Amino acid sequence: MLVGYSSSSEDDAEAGSEAEATKTRRRSSQKSVNKEDESNVDFPAKKKAKLKDLALKTRLPVPGCLLDMFPDEDALQTEDSSLHGGRVRSFKHERGNWATYVYFPYHPEEEFESLMEELLLLSQTRGLVLTLQEEFHLSLSQTVVLRHHWIQPFAQSLRKSLSHCKRFLCSAERLKVYCNAEKTRTFLGMEVSPGHAQLLDVIQAVDKTMIEFQLETFYKDPSFHVSLAWCVGDQTEKMKQILQELQ
């Protein structure tokens, strides 16, 4: 059998070449690793800056309806009655509180609107300037304050309390003068006569919910009415003087 052996000098040369090649590969690999490490260190910061710029460019505007729900503190502190026809708040507004009352809405016909124009004109000729109500209703509760998280359970309780009430008819026939408890506004209203007993039953149901939430109940001896127009201040006596002509 013939076996070829290389000489010792050739072996040494080959070993040296392999060792040098190994060192070269190690140095090359180390440089590559160092470059990757440097790139990894810089990458998160660059990526964050890029994402931040992208977020600023793509951020959607807040809807106007939400901005109206949460006005600036300066707007909340502004209580300029001239912006509200001279009306004054009955209680201070606080964020998270919702002024609430229960009522029957009344949607007037054209004949009613014509009658109101005549009443306002007659009052003006007698020196009493009245402002027409923006909407007409019959109140079934006083104005109370609800916390936001009360709204849904309050409505559910109210529906349950009123579930036994049946439909009925009522009518308002006689003009009457009303003044609020703060004496800041005087109202010309039409008092409800037919349907008074049924309205008392409804009030009992509404008061049940008010008591449940520890809120103020309705007046003890209520005069159910639909407010037609109002003026600033306590003008009760002056309005009563011309009431006979308005009837």
Residues forming the active site: 137, 225
Please, are residues 158 and 186 in contact by the beta-carbon 8 Å criterion?
Answer: no
Cβ contacts of residue 106 below 8 Å, gap of 6+?
136, 137, 138, 226
- How far apart CA 167 and CA 155 sit, in angstroms, is 20
Q: Quick one: tokens of 131?
A: 């402002």
228 closest CA partner among 185, 192, 186, 188: 188
- How far apart CA 124 and CA 229 sit, in angstroms, is 12
Cβ contacts of residue 245 below 8 Å, gap of 6+?
122, 126
The helix or strand, by DSSP H or E, that contains position 28, with its residue range, turns out to be: helix 8-58
Q: Quick one: tokens of 152?
A: 């849904």
Q: Quick one: tokens of 7?
A: 């000489």
Residue 208: strand, helix, or coil = helix
Beta bridge partners of 229: 132, 188
Please, are residues 188 and 227 in contact by the beta-carbon 8 Å criterion?
Answer: yes
- How far apart CA 219 and CA 149 sit, in angstroms, is 26
Q: What are the CA-CA distances from residue 120 to residues 9, 150, 226 (Å)? A: 126, 40, 16
